[in-house]
């Protein structure tokens, strides 16, 4: 297992980052959001459901959910108790049902049924924190409003020494400073896939890692 030298100059740091991004492009050239959805509203709902839940589980729940509630108006008029039952398997179902109904009502009443396309407005929607807003704007509209920071992005950004923060908001601030804006959306999708496939929280598969030569993590898995 190699022990890479830390870059000292700005040029060396930039070259290292460029090499990491190139390796991710080679490994995950078509990376995209794993949550199944048909439009921005469905993506918003799916992202709310994904909190403390796997994307795989959410994708099992949403087909029947979107069939039962095909439009924003259907969610806006839904019974919270009934919706909570419909999404029970995703966990935290009462809070999620409340957020989804609240989001539907606000979007319908204040935004004419259209998902806001700027982050500050979108953040006023119930259940829509920065991670959710960045997912929706980036995936549904191609708007690079920021970097999605989930557990994979936070963990791997630290392992690669792209941040030394542990707060998602502060991690995002560090990432947007060093990543080209045109990479904000793609980077998150690639890192999430990377975290699921190789750079796992326990027993990372460093022997298969395309960026191992740039990683300083102390807990590397030996070959």
Instruction: Give the Cα separation of 115 and 10 in Å (integer).
Output: 40
Does residue 150 carry a catalytic annotation? Answer: yes
Does residue 13 carry a catalytic annotation? Answer: no
| Residue whose tokens read 């259209």 | 114
Candidate list 13, 25, 106, 150, residue with the active-site label: 150
* Cβ atoms of residues 103 and 97 within 8 Å: no
Instruction: Give the Cα separation of 36 and 32 in Å (integer).
Output: 11
Alpha-carbon distance values, 168 to 111, 152, 173, 219 (Å) = 28, 11, 9, 22
Give 44's contacts (C-beta < 8 A, 6+ positions apart): 103, 115, 125, 128, 132, 136
Give 82's contacts (C-beta < 8 A, 6+ positions apart): none
Candidate list 55, 86, 96, 131, residue with the active-site label: 131
Name the burial class of residue 6, with classes exposed (0-12), middle (13-18) and buried (19+) by CB atoms within 10 angstroms of its CB. exposed
Residues annotated as catalytic are: 131, 150
């Amino acid at each position: 297992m190699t022990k890479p030298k830390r870059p000292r100059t700005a040029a060396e740091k930039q070259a290292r980052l460029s090499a990491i991004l190139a390796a991710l492009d080679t490994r995950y050239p078509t990376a995209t959001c794993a949550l199944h959805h048909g439009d921005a509203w469905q993506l918003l709902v799916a992202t709310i459901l994904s909190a403390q839940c796997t994307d795989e589980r959410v994708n099992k729940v949403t087909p029947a959910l979107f069939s039962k509630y095909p439009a924003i108006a259907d969610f806006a008029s839904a019974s919270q108790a009934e919706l909570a039952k419909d999404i029970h398997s995703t966990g935290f179902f009462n809070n999620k049902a409340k957020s989804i109904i609240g989001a539907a009502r606000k979007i319908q009443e204040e935004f004419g049924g259209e998902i806001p396309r700027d982050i500050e407005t979108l953040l006023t929607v119930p259940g829509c924190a920065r991670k959710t807003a960045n997912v929706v704007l980036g995936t549904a509209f191609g708007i690079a409003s920021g970097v999605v920071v989930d557990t994979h992005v936070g963990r791997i950004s630290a392992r690669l020494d792209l941040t030394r923060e542990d707060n998602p908001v502060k991690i995002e601030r560090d990432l947007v400073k060093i990543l080209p804006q045109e990479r904000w959306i793609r980077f998150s999708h690639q890192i999430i896939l990377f975290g699921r496939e190789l750079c796992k929280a326990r027993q990372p598969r460093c022997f298969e890692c395309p960026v191992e030569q740039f990683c300083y993590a102390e807990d590397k898995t030996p070959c």
